[in-house]
Homo-oligomer: A and B are copies of this chain.
Amino acid sequence: MITTINITSLQNKYIKQVNLLKQKKERDKTKLFIAEGERLVNEIPQDWKIEYIILSENYLSDVNTQKICNILSKFPQIKAFTVSQKYFEKISDTVTPQGILAVCRQKIYNENKFINKKNPFFILLERISDPGNLGTLIRTADAAGADCVFLSKGCVDLYNSKVIRSSMGSIFHLPVVINSEFDVLIENLKSKNINILAAHLKGKKTLYDINLTNGIGILIGNEANGLSDEISEKSTELIKIPMPGNAESMNVSVAGSIFIYEAVRQRIK
């Protein structure tokens, strides 16, 4: 049996909170974020802290009860609310809402915990501004088995709904450190013999000329402007992706993923 509490007013405090959580300011203040959609909610691990779940009445009636029971049984103490389809559409951040969302607590990772890892595989993203690109890069890093993703100040908010969606749940699998001070981080990593390899059009060597099997941090910059000079100068080496064809650049999530996967190729051998 599914026990839920029905909410019938848009003035209800949970409804109001979900609407407020669309703003970064509120997410920063409360350290909460929204995971919307069946697939994303399904990806939340059992040990992740969820505040509550909201279901639309249509979702509750349309789909297999078993599905909802499976989700709720992972989180036995969870508060589950139901709202009308109309209300769900008002709080949803998608064009065609599925009728399920979870309000989750952000996980705060301590940078120092990761940098002592032996032979690590890190991804450093500087000022990525498009949410789709950030989510896609986190998804690739997760597929690749990277140990941690570090985001510089100036990256789009990790908890932006489009980042969460395009990460396809990878945000729940893989540690992502936010607001990292890259000048400090890079010095720390280099002092532990971790090579910081900057994807850069001015690189002399290509990613196929270097050894990626030891401790590495792959450093990827902003869509329009690439890496800042300040940060690329701190890297161990600038590395280019060869472009034997006619295009002069690639999409940042593609370029980053090609680099990440060259490391996968070398490391799985």
Residues of chain B with a CB closer than 8 A to A265's CB: 208, 262
* A82 interface contact, C-beta 8 A: no
- Contacting residues of chain A (203-245) with chain B, CB-CB under 8 angstroms: 208, 241-245
The interface size bin for chain A is 35 or more
Contact B145–A250 (Cβ < 8 Å): no
* A268 interface contact, C-beta 8 A: yes
A57 and B132 CA atoms in complex are apart in Å by: 34
- Chain A, residues 176-218, CB within 8 Å of chain B (1/0): the string is 0000000000000000000000000000000010000000000
A208 and B268 CA atoms in complex are apart in Å by: 10
CB distance from A194 to the nearest CB of B (A): 19
Q: Are A166 and B245 CB-contacts (below 8 A) given A257-B257, A258-B257, A258-B258?
A: no
Contact B268–A244 (Cβ < 8 Å): yes
Q: Which of A23-31, A69-77, A93-101, A167-175 contacts B (4 or more CB under 8 A)?
A: A167-175
Contact B174–A140 (Cβ < 8 Å): no
Residues of chain B with a CB closer than 8 A to A125's CB: none
* A247 interface contact, C-beta 8 A: yes
Contact B139–A247 (Cβ < 8 Å): yes
* A102 interface contact, C-beta 8 A: no
Which of B168, B169, B245 is in CB contact (< 8 Å) with A173? B245
* A20 interface contact, C-beta 8 A: no
Contact B258–A261 (Cβ < 8 Å): yes
Contact B254–A242 (Cβ < 8 Å): no
Residues of chain B with a CB closer than 8 A to A136's CB: 251, 254
Q: Are A168 and B257 CB-contacts (below 8 A) given A265-B262, A268-B242?
A: no
Q: CB-nearest residue of chain B relative to A142?
A: B247
A166 and B223 CA atoms in complex are apart in Å by: 12
A258 and B137 CA atoms in complex are apart in Å by: 13
* A5 interface contact, C-beta 8 A: no
Q: Are A143 and B245 CB-contacts (below 8 A) given A261-B258, A265-B262?
A: yes
